[in-house]
A and B are shown apart, each in its own frame.
Chain A
Amino acid sequence: MAEVSRRPSHARTHSARDATKERLGVSDAIRIAGPGVISGGADNDPAGIATYSIVGATVGFAQNWLLFLSTPMLIVAMQMSAKVANVTKSDLAGLLRTSFGARVATPAVVLMVIANVITMGADLLAMGAAVQLLTGIKFIYWIVPMAAVMAGVTIFLDYKLVSKYLLWLVAVYATYIVAAVLARPDWGDVIRSTFLPRISLSPDYLLGAVALLGTTITPYLFFWQASGELEEKRGVQSLSRSSLDITIGMVWSNLIAFFIIVATGAVLFSHHTQIRTAADAARALEPVAGPYATLLFSIGVIGAGLLAIPILASSAAFGVAGLAGWRRGLGRNPKNAPQFYVVIGLAFLIAMELAVSAVDPIKALFYSQVLDGIIAPVLIVLLLLLTSSRKLMGDFVNGIPTKVFGWAAAAVMVLADVAMVYQVATKGLP
């Protein structure tokens, strides 16, 4: 973190960056929790949980290295999203429009919105499947009421307040850490696969890699983070706070993801069990919860969905409204930002339609993350261009480490995308 005093005086202020440096301690971590921590919680949405579970069950620990590698990349991408808002006081869609023009901004936002709505549909399916596990009533009957309640909360209540409570529900996923330990994996293998890359060119492996990267470095979170910084009115004086907030949120998010893969790898992959239903995915929690694994898994999925789905809808609305220059913000009354809330409502409607017509919840969850994996590198490159522009960022332009990790993230994701498309085109879907 920063080096100078907590509140520099004017006399010592030589550059804008000097004026914003502050030293933050461990005790600050909880106090400053904000959009970054919520983003971290939302990053492990039901689609994410499904993807990590499928990766663990399909390839075991073989992609742990990719998750490890993606952590600094995710932090850097999210920090760029926050910083560009801190400096320019604009959200991502508005900035893409003013900096690159509608020809670049519109496709970027439209792709993000499409991926979001599909992910919302898949998340709704997962939540329905989780409630089915608990009640025995078929998942399809839960989708419409759940979507209606979430749309109502997002539009008519203070979602920012609600989300802080939902974070506690998602804390259920911490049980994956215990489950992974109790499953007694071969820790030597876990550590080796985390630090030594194992690369395979099989369609299975590559689809898993793209989905894992897509669900970790998720495009909609870039839009959400930038808008969250604006809603919190965090300017450049809060750069260190934003950075710490994001780092905590993303490390926690990926730590949980890591243990989901380890638990599913140890329990399911070692027994050659494929995940075809939510009940299969829940089995990874059996070492810690025994007969209550299904209950624990269901609560986690429902909590993750309640947290993530409104964020997906809001990110889509922030994108569209930013592109069009409409009033936007979850703190606004619906009457004061009607178009913004109409987009949120439409996103829920379309996602609901997708959910009730889709066939296989687990496949829908997985392939929505593959789509995210294809879109993410495009947005990372645009973010890198924005945050490396001295005209836009002044003293807050990207440093070398940010550029290295940012371009590395884009390159790794593009490589994985190209390899996957080639393998799927020549060998077909696994």
Chain B
Amino acid sequence: MRRTTTIRAERRSGKTAARGAPHADSSASLVDAWWATVLAGDVSEPHPIFGDVRVSLHGGLLRLSGELESAADHSELVRQARRRIGHGIDSVDVSGLTIASHWEKPGILEQTLISAFPSRDAAEFARDFVVKHSRVVPKQNEIVDSNRAGRLRAVVPEDLVRKARHALAGRRALLILRVDETEAFRVRELLEEDTRSEWTMTAPPQPIASKQ
């Protein structure tokens, strides 16, 4: 199931906390606000953490369905729903909630994504957005603009340097993120669909071991 791009990273465990997670309160308030709209009858808004969960509310029965990324997500959503029993709903049916079966294993391959933005500010905003407001923890994140063009060869895979240079010559700022291959789907989706990026390119996956 796809996710929304609103706040959702804060409950991601210690990694986010280590970066400093000032958003826990805002996350909780967004979740509360979402539940308030659901209980008021508007079931079309995406969940602020779990995205496109499908919700139906008939009488006192709340039905949740859709695919969640992990068992922890499943437990958390069920916990949130059950907390609302007696506050507008009588019972909760979560039989339609499934957990995604992930064949892909993290820690084997990594990918570098490069996005071009009209300005450094836009690139910084996008970096904050992806890093702070998603569940992805990049292994490397860097913004390169014409003032720091010398960094290009160090952070961009050889094959993409030419395209990157061309973008810098056009006064673009580049956001470069290196992530685990299994997380590249979400990062690319966020960069391409939810930021002001002009284009996003993904370098081919590389074995993590070869960099060590």
Contacts and interface: CB of A to CB of B under 8 A. Distances in A.
Interface stretch (A5-13, A168-176, A304-312): A5-13
B149 interface: no
Interface of A: 7-8, 10-11, 13-16, 18-20, 87-90, 94, 97-98, 158, 230-231, 233-238, 241, 325-329, 331-336, 390-396
6 contacts: A10-B208, A16-B207, A90-B188, A235-B185, A333-B54, A394-B205
A326 B52 contact: no
A233 B185 contact: yes
B209 to A, nearest CB: 4
A323 to B, nearest CB: 12
B80 interface: no
Contacts of A15: 207, 210
B4 A16 contact: no
Interface stretch (B10-18, B22-30, B126-134, B193-201): B193-201
Interface of B: 1-2, 4, 44-46, 51-52, 54, 65-67, 100, 102-105, 107-109, 111, 159-160, 181-182, 184-185, 188-189, 192-194, 197, 199-210
Interface majority SS (helix, strand, loop, mixed), chain B:
mixed
Contacts of B52: 331-333, 336
A16 B204 contact: yes
Contacts of B209: 10-11, 13
B4 A98 contact: no
B104 A89 contact: no
Given A241-B103, A327-B193, A331-B67, A336 B51 contact: yes
Contacts of B199: 97-98
B184 A89 contact: yes
Given A87-B202, A336-B52, A393-B204, 11 more contacts: A13-B207, A88-B204, A89-B111, A235-B109, A237-B181, A325-B197, A331-B2, A333-B44, A333-B54, A334-B44, A390-B159
Contacts of A333: 44-46, 52, 54
A332 B188 contact: no
